[in-house]
């Protein structure tokens, strides 16, 4: 262990450790939601290219159609691979006093927000998410969006429970009597 | 005290008479901004027409009448008063609006004066509130004494309401009597020092950006014209590229210098910073005078920095970041006070944060891998790119690009040496800088989110980057060992979660 706490009035070992928590994965079905959404995106992009190739002055050989859409297809495939591999990195955890979320395949990112610093929490649901019965939990903090947090791919029941839990904790912050 | 003179705010009242003029100018600016394409097209399209001047007269009269009527009506339709612990504003010509701002939702009340305000000794009052997106309500012109009485009344009432709702906080009672002490006043000499030591490279950038975007919007011919001009001189002075280059560089340098000097004078003229019971107050500006109040508990980060020129004068730029509700006023949440001496920086830090914790602590440096990474991305790769592209145009003279390497190495070494953080049980301090020095100070219980990032490279070296978010801005501690990052995360979360003090 390093010595950062040598001059602080706290024993480093007595603090709750983020490293030891069991993180929960988000719903597997959410992977399908993201994949369908990006499939639609890349498909539209390819259509767009074909339209440009068709209506522009360009020579209409098979190559001109294939070159662009092939490039887009390769990018789309890469995007799919990263999404699938990165999916199992999307995990969340609730502790007594904060909420944590991890993500990122190449760049690991873990964000922790204490309940008593949360301004507001809400559930969101896009059309695709609705088809699969999933919700995204959005946690707002003060002053801009840089530290806001979105946890996607939650089933209705736990999503509501977590939201109410957070809002309850946030509200109870004012009369925080027992540790 | 002359509080007996304070006017009665309980019945609806209008703004100062001068407001008509001020609203009129605001109106004219608004209409010009909205209709200038039409006006210009009239000018250009109608010039050949014989009845053009006649038309122009009508348009001008109509335009003036519209504006005058609008501003007079706006003035007579605007009322404000205080009712049931709330500011009530009634306004609107066609659509009447009734705004009710409860005292406890008011964050601060700031004053602004443009040159007209200054002539007539009135101020524009801006009421900053929490919550709503459009969180600013303003009163265009109010007599200065009246505005001050108004603000003092509202803020005093607000404090009382808050004190009543939390009976256990004794701090309000024991507070020292209402007094304000001026700790900084920029004399013209200091102002000049600040102007001279501005970052002139930035002004150069701003000027270039302005020239290239704005002028090009007006006419695409500008570049052609400039090229023509330059070509003319080319004929006059053959083979004198160097002379032209030096002259251009000098002109650009002088313009940038003047630009930043004028900018500084306009913005920071007669700046004064004072400390009072609730926090800090800043007054500044030449034509547009602003008065900004900063609430102690809302301050999230205090930074001070210097550059090599400022070091000669021993001047620092102090920056105070306060939590602000409006997303639009993110810019306003950072308040800069250039030309502060160390003594004043210490004073401000001591006022806003607990004084006894403001001290030097053990410095934790960052990993040398950061230096190597920076050197690769800012040194080796750009040198390669530059060298290769120069090789095709200049041949082996491209080897001069290698001179970039020692410079970047020197700069990254300086950066790495200065990058560090210090921590005690109350404050976290971030140190950085290349040629200058910059320090950011944060009260750690105000952290509202902790983020740990690891790139693929950092994972291999077992390093991590920590970002600490507050209600106004964030601090980054890059490339420290993972163990240290985790300890820091645990400790900061513990501190934020176990502290029940006010944090914004």
> Which residue's structure tokens are 């990195």?
A89
State how far the Cα of B154 lies from the Cα of B66, in Å rounded to an integer.
36
- pLDDT computed for residue B101 by the predictor: 81
DSSP A23: P
Weakest-pLDDT range from A125-129, B17-21, B210-214: B210-214
Q: What per-residue confidence (pLDDT) applies to B104?
A: 76
Average pLDDT rounded to a whole number, residues A66-85: 90
Long-range contacts made by residues B23-28, C-beta under 8 angstroms, separation at least 24? B23/B71, B23/B74, B23/B75, B23/B140, B23/B141, B24/B67, B24/B68, B24/B71, B25/B116, B26/B71, B26/B140, B27/B67, B27/B70, B27/B71, B27/B74, B28/B67
pLDDT at position B457: 92
Q: Is A91 on the interface with B (CB under 8 A)?
A: no
A98 contact residues in B (CB cutoff 8 A): 493, 497
Residue whose tokens read 């800012």? B378
pLDDT in tens, B101-155: 888 777 778 888 888 888 888 888 888 776 544 556 788 888 888 888 888 888 8
Task: For residue B471, give both structure tokens.
Answer: 């209600």
Q: Which CATH class is domain B3-175?
A: mainly beta
What is the number of domains present in chain A? 2
Residues of chain A contacting residue B327, judged by C-beta atoms under 8 Å apart? 144-145
Chain segment B256-272, per-residue pLDDT in tens: 888 888 888 888 888 88
- Which pLDDT tens digit goes with each residue over B79-109? 888 888 888 888 877 777 787 888 877 777 8
Which domain-ending residue is among A19, A52, A87? A87
Same-domain pairing of A157 and A114: yes
| A121 in the same domain as A63 | no
> pLDDT above 90 covers what percent of chain B?
20
pLDDT of residue B501: 83
CA B324/CA B132 separation, integer angstroms: 11
Confidence of residue B329 (pLDDT cuts 50, 70, 90): low
- Residue A144 contacts B where some CB pair is shorter than 8 Å: yes
Q: Does B130 touch chain A (CB under 8 A)?
A: no
What's the mean pLDDT in B439-458?
92
Residue A42 domain-assigned (yes or no): yes
Tokens for B16? 């100062």
pLDDT above 50 for B328: no
B487 to A19: CB separation less than 8 angstroms, yes or no: no
Mean pLDDT of chain B: 81
Which residues in B lie closer than 8 A to residue A114 (C-beta atoms)? 447-448, 493, 496-497
Last residue of a domain, one of A43, A63, A87: A87
Q: Are residues A113 and A76 in the same domain?
A: no
Weakest-pLDDT range from A95-99, B1-5, B482-486: B1-5
| pLDDT interval class at A90 (50, 70, 90) | very high
A16 lies in a domain? no
pLDDT band at B415 (very low <50, low <70, confident <90, very high): very high
Most trustworthy range by pLDDT among B20-24, B222-226, B289-293, B383-387: B383-387
Name the pLDDT band for A178 (thresholds 50, 70, 90).
Answer: very low
DSSP string across B132-188:
SSS-EEEEEEEEHHHHHHHHHHHHHHHHHHHHHH-TT--HHHHPPPS--EEEEE--H
| Domain stops at, among A87, A105, A129 | A87
The arithmetic mean of pLDDT across residues A73-95, rounded, is 92
Tell me whether residues B498 and A15 touch, CB distance under 8 A. no
Do A105 and A163 have their domain in common? Answer: yes
Q: What is the ipTM of this complex?
A: 0.85
Give the 3-state secondary structure of B426-461. CEEEEEECCCCEEEEEEEHHHCCEEEEEECHHHHHH
User: Are A80 and A111 within one domain?
Assistant: no
Indicate the pLDDT class of residue B362, thresholds 50, 70 and 90.
confident
B367 interface with A at CB cutoff 8 Å: no
Mean pLDDT, range A150-159, rounded to an integer: 91
Same domain, residue pair A97 and A159: yes
> What is residue B173's predicted lDDT score, i.e. its pLDDT?
43
Domain assignment present for A150: yes
Contacts of B500 (CB under 8 A, 6+ apart): A173, A176
Q: B166-204, pLDDT tens digit by residue?
A: 655 444 444 444 577 888 888 888 888 888 888 777 778
Residue A52 and residue A95 share a domain: no
Question: Model confidence at A177, in pLDDT bands (50, 70, 90)?
Answer: very low
Question: Is pLDDT above 70 for B494?
Answer: yes
Residue range A101-150, pLDDT digits in tens? 999 888 999 999 998 888 888 888 888 999 999 999 998 887 667 778 89
Supply the range of the domain harboring residue A160: 89-172
The residue written with tokens 């145009």 in the block is: B393
Split at pLDDT 50, 70, 90, the class of B368 is: very high
**Residue A15 belongs to some domain of the structure:** no
**Residue of A2 and B443 predicted with greater confidence:** B443
Tokens 């600490």 label which residue?
Answer: B468
A154: β partners: A135
Cβ–Cβ gap A10/B483 under 8 Å: no
In chain B, the residue whose alpha carbon lies closest to the alpha carbon of A2 is B484
Which chain B residue's Cα is nearest to A146?
B469
Q: Residue B454 is nearest to which of A18, A108, A147, comparing CB atoms? A: A108
Per-residue model confidence as pLDDT tens digits over A20-75: 788 899 999 999 999 999 999 999 999 988 888 888 776 667 777 788 888 899 99
**Dihedral over Cα of B157, B162, B164, B168: its sign:** negative
* B397, pLDDT greater than 90: no
Query: Are A73 and A38 members of one domain?
Result: yes
Cβ pair A142:B498 closer than 8 A = no
With respect to residue A10, please indicate whether it lies within any of the assigned structural domains: no
The pLDDT, as a whole number, for residue B248 is: 82
Between B222 and A76, the more confident residue is A76
The answer, yes or no, to whether residue B274 has pLDDT greater than 60, is yes
Are A102 and A144 part of one and the same domain? Answer: yes
Confidence of residue B464 (pLDDT cuts 50, 70, 90): very high
Residue contact B490–A97, C-beta within 8 A? no
A116, exposed or middle or buried, with CB in 10 Å at 0-12, 13-18, 19+?
Answer: buried
Give yes or no: residues A73 and A99 share one domain.
no
Q: For A21, name the nearest residue in chain B, comparing CA atoms only.
A: B490
A57 shares a domain with A78: yes
- Given a contact cutoff of 8 angstroms between Cβ atoms, the answer to whether A116 and B493 are in contact is no
The residue among B301, B359, B361, B450 with the most chain A CBs within 10 A of its CB, best to mutate, is: B450
Asked if the structure places residue A73 within a domain, the reply is yes
Contact A141 B449 (CB under 8 A): yes
Interface test with chain A among B486, B490, B502, by most A beta carbons within 10 Å:
B490
A107 and A82 belong to one structural domain: no
Asked if residue A46 belongs to a domain, the reply is yes
Q: Is the pLDDT of residue A92 over 80?
A: yes
Of the candidates B299, B494, B349, which has an alpha carbon nearest to the alpha carbon of residue A8?
A: B494
pLDDT of residue A176: 42
pLDDT of residue B170: 45
pLDDT exceeds 80 at position B405: yes
């Amino acid at each position: 262990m390093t010595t950062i706490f040598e001059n602080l009035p706290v024993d480093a070992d007595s603090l709750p450790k983020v490293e030891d928590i069991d993180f929960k994965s988000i719903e597997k079905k959410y992977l399908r939601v993201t994949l369908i959404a990006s499939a639609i995106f890349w498909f539209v992009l390819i259509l767009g290219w074909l339209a440009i190739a068709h209506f522009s002055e360009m020579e209409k050989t098979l190559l001109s159609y294939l070159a662009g859409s092939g490039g887009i297809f390769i990018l789309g495939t890469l995007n799919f691979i990263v999404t699938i591999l990165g999916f199992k990195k999307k995990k969340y955890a609730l502790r007594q006093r904060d909420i944590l979320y991890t993500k990122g395949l190449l760049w690991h990112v873990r964000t922790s927000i204490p309940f008593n610093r949360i301004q507001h929490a809400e559930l969101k649901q896009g059309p695709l998410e609705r088809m699969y019965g999933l919700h995204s939990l959005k946690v707002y903090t003060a002053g801009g969006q840089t530290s806001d947090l979105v946890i996607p791919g939650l089933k209705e029941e736990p999503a509501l429970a977590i939201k109410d839990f957070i809002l309850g904790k946030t509200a109870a912050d004012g009369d925080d009597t027992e540790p | 005290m002359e509080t007996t003179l304070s006017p009665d705010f309980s019945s609806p009242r209008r703004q100062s008479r001068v407001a008509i003029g001020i609203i009129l100018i605001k109106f004219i600016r608004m209409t010009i901004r909205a209709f200038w394409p039409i006006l210009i097209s009239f000018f250009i399209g109608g010039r050949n027409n014989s009845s053009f001047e006649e038309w122009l007269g009508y348009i001008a009269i109509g335009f003036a009448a519209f504006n005058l009527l609008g501003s007079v009506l706006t003035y007579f339709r605007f009322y404000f008063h205080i009712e049931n612990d709330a500011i009530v504003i009634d306004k609107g010509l066609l659509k009447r609006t009734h705004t009710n701002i409860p005292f406890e939702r008011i964050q601060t009340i700031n004053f602004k004066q443009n040159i007209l305000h200054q002539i007539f000794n009135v101020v524009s009052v801006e009421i900053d509130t929490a919550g709503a997106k459009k969180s600013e309500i303003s009163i265009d012109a109010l007599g200065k004494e009246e505005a001050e009485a108004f603000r003092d009344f509202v803020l005093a009432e607000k404090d009382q309401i808050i004190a009543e709702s939390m009976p256990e906080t004794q701090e309000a009672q024991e507070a020292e009597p209402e007094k304000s002490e001026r700790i900084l006043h920029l004399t013209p000499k200091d102002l000049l020092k600040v102007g001279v030591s501005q970052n002139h490279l930035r002004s150069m950038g701003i000027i270039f950006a302005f020239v290239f975007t704005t002028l090009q919007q007006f006419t695409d011919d500008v570049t052609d014209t400039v090229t023509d001009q330059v070509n003319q001189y080319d004929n006059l002075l053959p083979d004198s590229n160097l002379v032209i280059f030096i002259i251009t560089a000098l002109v650009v340098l002088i313009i940038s210098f003047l630009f930043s000097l004028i900018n500084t004078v306009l913005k920071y003229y007669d700046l004064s910073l004072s400390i009072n019971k609730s926090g800090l107050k800043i007054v500044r500006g030449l034509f547009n005078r602003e008065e900004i109040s900063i609430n102690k508990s809302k301050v999230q980060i205090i930074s001070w920095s210097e550059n090599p020129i400022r070091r000669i004068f021993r001047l620092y730029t102090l920056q105070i970041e306060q939590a602000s509700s409006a997303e639009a006023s993110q810019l306003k949440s950072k308040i800069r006070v250039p030309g502060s001496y160390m003594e004043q920086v210490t004073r401000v830090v001591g006022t806003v944060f607990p004084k006894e914790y403001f001290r030097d602590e053990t410095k934790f440096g960052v990993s040398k891998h950061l230096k190597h990474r920076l050197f690769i991305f800012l040194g080796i790769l750009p040198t390669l790119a530059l060298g290769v592209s120069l090789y095709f145009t200049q041949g082996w003279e491209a080897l001069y690009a290698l001179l970039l390497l020692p410079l970047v190495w020197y700069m990254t070494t300086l950066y790495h040496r200065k990058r560090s953080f210090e921590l005690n049980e109350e404050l976290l301090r971030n140190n950085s800088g290349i040629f200058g020095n910059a320090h950011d100070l944060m009260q750690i219980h105000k952290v509202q989110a902790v983020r740990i990032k690891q790139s693929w490279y950092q994972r291999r070296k077992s390093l991590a980057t920590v970002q600490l978010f507050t209600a106004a801005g964030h601090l980054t501690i890059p490339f420290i060992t993972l163990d240290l990052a985790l300890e820091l995360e645990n400790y900061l979360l513990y501190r934020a979660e176990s502290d029940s003090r006010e944090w914004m």
